[in-house]
């Protein structure tokens, strides 16, 4: 049996090691509070989470199948969005070469020294403020996200790559162009399956309003205590994600957490809050999170299909579950709740009966 003093010293040594980003230095008080509560390993409970495969949809049927195959594919997309809020797609139009190059370029960018990444506008040709890490509002470790990311508006994808990253802009650009088209196609299908032929998404979800987020989840010495990304729902219409083979993405299905089995050839699609409101609760925006790994780092790239801030979100059917709201109002409410409460409330704030 490991003595409590030994465990305490081991944790302190692991956390005091230099890390990039400097999580322990920035959140030392939170770590120290948690470490002091640890007594012996026998008092730690490990919660096992079942691994599953998301519904897998072959998008080649939309372009090369007969009418029955096309309709069947659309129905599968709508059904997965209702029952899971998540699904994965293959034959999505992004080559394995582009996905591999994205992963390679991500690793190179994130391996830059911390002081270089925090001056992203000067060294990497990303907008100032695009590099983010940790959770500035965290008051306990469960509110801390053990990750770093670059948030990149599509219009900020520079045509002049930074020194030493000649293919970065072109690789990101090819990825963004393809997932943008895919998001529009999926949104139109989901609207059609609601009986709503609409140009809403073409008019309101533009390159100027959507963005990419490149994520890195460093190894974490206390994975049982800290999330890579806190449980949350996405504040957009759709999110398109490519993740590596490490795994760590988990979501809620039938009131329990399940772990998503990685599929390097697939893209993961999930419904965001705005689509749940627009569909009048037909499509589900479900809680998901990323757990940390003590041994290996994890990389992913997410595309967020967002409208302009002035876009008004309202149900395509009546009576509406939610009141009308602008995307700006929704974002502001989420930010206010996170600052005051430490977590997002989201759509329940906009229920009609809550007025």
**b/e map 216-247, b = 16+ CB within 10 Å:** bbbebbbbebbbbbbbbbbbbbbbbbbbbeeb
The helix (H) or strand (E) run that includes residue 192 is: helix 168-192
Structure tokens at 83: 């029952």
- Catalytic residues, by residue number, are 298
Given a contact cutoff of 8 angstroms between Cβ atoms, the answer to whether 56 and 266 are in contact is yes
Contacts of 119 (CB under 8 A, 6+ apart): none
Q: Which residues pair with 301 in a beta bridge?
A: 214, 242
Three-class SS of residue 54? Answer: coil
Query: What are the counts of helices (DSSP H) followed by strands (DSSP E) for the chain?
Result: 12, 15
- Length reported for the chain: 355
Given a contact cutoff of 8 angstroms between Cβ atoms, the answer to whether 183 and 305 are in contact is yes
CA distance 333 to 174: 34
Give the β-pairing of 249-253 and 227-232: unpaired
């Amino acid at each position: 049996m490991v003595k409590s003093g030994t465990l305490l010293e081991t944790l302190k040594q692991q956390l005091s090691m230099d890390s990039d980003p400097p999580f322990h230095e920035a959140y030392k008080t939170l770590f120290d509070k948690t470490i002091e509560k640890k007594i012996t390993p026998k008092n730690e409970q490990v919660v096992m989470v079942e691994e599953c495969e998301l519904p897998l949809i072959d998008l080649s049927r939309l372009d090369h199948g007969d009418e029955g195959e096309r309709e069947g594919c659309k129905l599968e997309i709508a059904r997965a969005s209702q029952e899971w809020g998540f699904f994965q797609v293959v034959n999505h139009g992004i080559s394995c070469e582009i996905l591999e190059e994205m992963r390679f370029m991500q690793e190179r960018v994130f391996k830059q020294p911390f002081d270089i990444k925090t001056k992203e506008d000067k060294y990497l040709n990303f907008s100032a403020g695009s590099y983010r890490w940790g959770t500035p509002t965290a008051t306990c470790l469960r509110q801390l996200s053990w990750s770093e990311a670059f948030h990149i508006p599509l219009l900020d994808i520079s045509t002049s790559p930074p020194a030493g990253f000649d293919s970065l802009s072109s690789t990101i650009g090819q990825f963004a162009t393809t997932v943008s088209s895919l998001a529009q196609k999926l949104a139109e299908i989901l609207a059609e399956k609601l009986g709503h032929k609409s140009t809403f998404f073409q008019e309101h979800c533009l390159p100027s309003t959507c963005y990419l987020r490149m994520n890195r989840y460093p190894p974490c010495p206390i994975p049982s205590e800290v999330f890579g990304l806190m449980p949350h729902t996405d504040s957009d219409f759709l999110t398109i994600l490519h993740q590596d083979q490490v795994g760590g993405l988990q979501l809620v299905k039938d009131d329990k957490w399940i772990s998503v089995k990685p599929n390097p050839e697939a893209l993961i699609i999930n419904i965001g809050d705005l689509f749940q409101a627009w569909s009048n609760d037909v499509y589900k925006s479900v809680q998901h999170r990323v757990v940390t790994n003590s041994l290996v780092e994890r990389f992913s790239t997410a595309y967020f299909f967002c409208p302009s801030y002035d876009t008004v979100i309202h149900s395509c059917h009546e009576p509406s579950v939610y009141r009308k709201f602008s995307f700006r109002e929704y974002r502001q409410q989420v930010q206010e709740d996170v600052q005051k409460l430490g977590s997002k409330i989201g759509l329940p704030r906009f229920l009609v009966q809550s007025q």
